[in-house]
Amino acid sequence: MLCNSYIRTVIVRVVNIGSFTRTRLELSNINKSLHAGLRVGYTWNREFRKSSKMMVDSAAKRGPIVDVLPEKEDDGGYVSGGWKSEDGKLRCGYSSFRGKRATMEDFYDIKTSNVDGQAVCMFGVFDGHGGSRAAEYLKEHLFENLLKHPQFMTDTKLAISETYQQTDVDFLESERDTYRDDGSTASTAILVGNHLYVANVGDSRTVISKAGKAIPLSEDHKPNRCDERKRIENAGGVVMWAGTWRVGGVLAMSRAFGNRMLKQFVVAEPEIQDLEVDEGFELLVLASDGLWDVVPNEDAVALARTGEEPEIAARKLTETAFTRGSADNITCIVVRFHHVNEDPAEPEVEQE
């Protein structure tokens, strides 16, 4: 997870190899590059908003954005809830637990809307680090920004990519007068009719169960991933071992929202997969790494396929992760698809 002071951490690490002066110059250059990049982002932002203002009303007919359900918390500190679509084809449940952490930095969001007569459902898990503000900002703005994108229906992948990156610029701008420098992952699933788009930044993850098989729809953004290491090093950064592989010896993921001091290397560009939902699709599991660190994809799908309500399945997943020793905040969303002639429930999997 992110340390409280990037500059102090980076300087201390480089002093240990005798390069303090050079590091100060590098940090200065990084800072200049960051501000230059943000200025470009702000210019694009103004153009994007101007374009959106002209096009959003004429491009598509958008219904209201609806938050699914209010949270409910029990005495054990778990927050959970559930929802189903009006036609009964989609049900979801969510569960979130602070666990062994002193503070809660996970957030999640579930919204529905209607665009051009097409049902749109949006699910997201946001795992904050170094503070909760970035994750909270994503909960408040990411999906609303996405639905305002003028090409949301005509080029959904482009809309998702641009909205992710623009929301990152907006967040950094909103925090420019603060001393905070927190960040967040985002793993989202956007269902437009029967078309599913899964977008990921960071090490939260989305896994689908198709015909009983667990299939990851995102790949964790870790600094030691060959392509991620190459991208970081080409940008002038370094990947170092500090208990785990970290960008600059500080951040244990290679893509994130926020993280101003590492923004030159830690981008918010999402990797996106899109696919058509067919009768083989059983359910989705979206979760923060508090789950995935201790629960393999196959176990998560097996637990979620027990045939119970998605809310109960989501609660069972968070409890299982905690029982298996997760030391992080734990948040997950289970989305279940209902098709005609669906098979009966599978036998229940024992928890450890």
User: What whole-number distance in Å separates Cα of residue 71 and Cα of residue 78?
Assistant: 10
Contacts of 292 by beta carbon, 8 Å cutoff, 6+ apart: 203, 204, 205, 220, 300
User: What whole-number distance in Å separates Cα of residue 323 and Cα of residue 23?
Assistant: 43
Element holding 247 (H helix, E strand): strand 245-247
pLDDT in the model for residue 19: 38
What CATH number should be reported for the domain whose range is 6-337? 3.60.40.10
| 71 vs 51, more confident | 71
What's the pLDDT band for 36 if we cut at 50, 70, 90?
very low
In the chain, domain spans: 6-337
Rounded to 5°, angle at Cα 293 from 347 and 260:
140
pLDDT in the model for residue 64: 75
User: What whole-number distance in Å separates Cα of residue 249 and Cα of residue 108?
Assistant: 28
CB 99 within 8 A of CB 320: no
> Which of 277, 275, 276, 297 lies closest to 287 in space, CA to CA?
297
Helices within the chain (DSSP H only): 6-15, 20-59, 133-148, 156-174, 226-234, 289-292, 297-304, 310-323
**What digits encode the pLDDT tens for the residues 193-205?**
999 999 999 999 9
User: What whole-number distance in Å separates Cα of residue 91 and Cα of residue 335?
Assistant: 6
Write the CA distances from 67 to 139, 146, 196, integer angstroms. 11, 15, 19
CB 100 within 8 A of CB 327: yes
**What digits encode the pLDDT tens for the residues 281-297?**
999 999 999 999 999 99
> Which of 108, 201, 192 lies closest to 146 in space, CA to CA?
192
Mean pLDDT across the chain: 83
User: What whole-number distance in Å separates Cα of residue 112 and Cα of residue 85?
Assistant: 9
CB atoms within 10 A of CB 70: 6
What's the pLDDT band for 174 if we cut at 50, 70, 90?
very high
Question: What are the beta bridge partners of residue 125?
Answer: 108, 187
> Which of 210, 326, 346 lies closest to 273 in space, CA to CA?
210
**What digits encode the pLDDT tens for the residues 74-111?**
556 789 999 988 888 899 999 999 999 999 999 999 99
Decide if pLDDT at 2 tops 90. Answer: no
**Which tokens in the block code for residue 185?**
């992952």
> Which of 198, 351, 347 lies closest to 287 in space, CA to CA?
198
pLDDT (average), residues 164-173: 98
DSSP-derived pairing of the beta strands 90-97 and 330-337: antiparallel
DSSP-derived pairing of the beta strands 118-129 and 186-192: antiparallel
What's the pLDDT band for 13 if we cut at 50, 70, 90?
very low
Q: Percent of the chain, pLDDT > 90?
A: 68
Decide if pLDDT at 17 tops 90. Answer: no
Q: Collapsing DSSP states into helix, strand and coil, what is residue 205?
A: strand
Decide if pLDDT at 179 tops 60. Answer: yes
> Which of 321, 307, 255 lies closest to 100 in space, CA to CA?
321
| 43 vs 97, more confident | 97
pLDDT in the model for residue 4: 42
